[in-house]
């Protein structure tokens, strides 16, 4: 929710777009101070004088934004098998790991601005499977992505459990190459990045 752009505003209160406490996910009668860090962050006033008018039009929802223009890509190989994992953490960061030779190349370290709440943020991933052989795996947000020539996760809400994309290649001549896009949205703004998995046993 976004606070009203003008008019009556208060720290407490029961009207969703006019209560700072409710915007912060607090009880309407919670004890809050104008000078505390959470309110200053919401108002965009890190220090100095702060007033109710600083909260007009502000929102505690994180805004989707990649911190670099880099592609997510993974190219690994290994005589004993290899794997790669990309984890979307609910605080707005990404962790990435791999086993084998090569490992991750460039990839953003945050996929949304990690301020405010991730409530209402959604993620979607779609892939085109370029090539597969043997018995690799590619699991996207808990679902098998190797059932056909394309895969679309559909819209997945961020908030709660982390969201994970993982691929493994552990059998003789097992390989998978998948290319596509990751989309992050707050319902108004959608941003995307290209993603490339290449795993070769």
pLDDT tens sequence across 24-72 = 889 999 999 999 988 998 898 989 999 999 999 998 877 677 766 666 6
Cut 0.75: pTM above it: no
- 46, HSE (Cβ side, Cα atoms, 13 Å): 0
Q: Rounded distance, CA 13 to CA 28, Å?
A: 5
Name residues whose C-beta falls within 8 Å of residue 149's C-beta, 6 or more positions apart in sequence: 128, 129
pLDDT at position 7 is 94
Say whether 30 sits in a helix, a strand or coil: coil
Can you tell me the mean pLDDT for 64-87?
70
Residue 36: per-residue pLDDT: 92
Cα angle at 108 between 102 and 110, to 5 degrees?
Answer: 135
- Cα gap 22→10, rounded to integer Å: 10
Q: Give the highest mean pLDDT range of 3-12, 75-84, 86-95, 145-154.
A: 3-12
> Which tokens is 147 given?
């059932």
Given a cut of 60, is residue 153 above it in pLDDT?
A: yes
Angle at 178 between CA 172 and CA 184, to 5 degrees: 140
Residue 93 has pLDDT above 80, yes or no: no
Beta strands in 116-162 (DSSP E): 122-133, 137-140, 143-144, 150-152, 156-157
Share of the chain above pLDDT 90, in %: 22
Which has the higher per-residue pLDDT, 84 or 48? Answer: 48
Q: What is the pLDDT of residues 167-201, one digit of tens each?
A: 887 766 778 888 888 888 877 778 888 887 777 65
Between residues 74 and 46, the one the model is more confident about: 46
The conformation of residue 55, written as its DSSP 8-state character, comes to G
143-144 and 175-185 beta bridge pairing:
unpaired
In the beta sheet, which residues pair with residue 137? 168
């Amino acid at each position: 929710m976004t606070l009203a752009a003008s008019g009556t505003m208060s720290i407490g209160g029961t009207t969703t777009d006019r209560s700072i406490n409710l915007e912060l996910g607090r009880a309407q009668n919670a004890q809050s101070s104008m000078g505390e860090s959470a309110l200053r962050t919401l108002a965009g006033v890190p220090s100095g004088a702060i007033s109710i008018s600083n909260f007009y039009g502000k929102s505690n929802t994180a805004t989707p934004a990649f911190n670099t223009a880099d592609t997510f890509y993974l190219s690994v190989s290994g005589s004993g098998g290899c794997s790669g994992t990309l984890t979307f953490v609910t605080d707005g960061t990404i962790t990435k790991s791999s086993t084998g030779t090569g490992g991750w190349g460039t990839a953003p370290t945050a996929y949304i601005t990690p301020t405010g709440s991730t409530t209402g943020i959604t993620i979607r991933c779609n892939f085109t499977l370029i090539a597969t052989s043997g018995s690799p795996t590619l699991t996207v947000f808990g679902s098998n992505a190797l059932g056909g020539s394309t895969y679309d996760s559909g819209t997945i809400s961020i908030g709660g459990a982390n969201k994970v994309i993982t691929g493994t290649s552990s059998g003789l001549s097992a390989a998978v190459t998948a290319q596509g896009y990751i989309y992050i949205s707050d319902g108004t703004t959608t941003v995307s990045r290209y993603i490339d998995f290449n795993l070769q046993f």
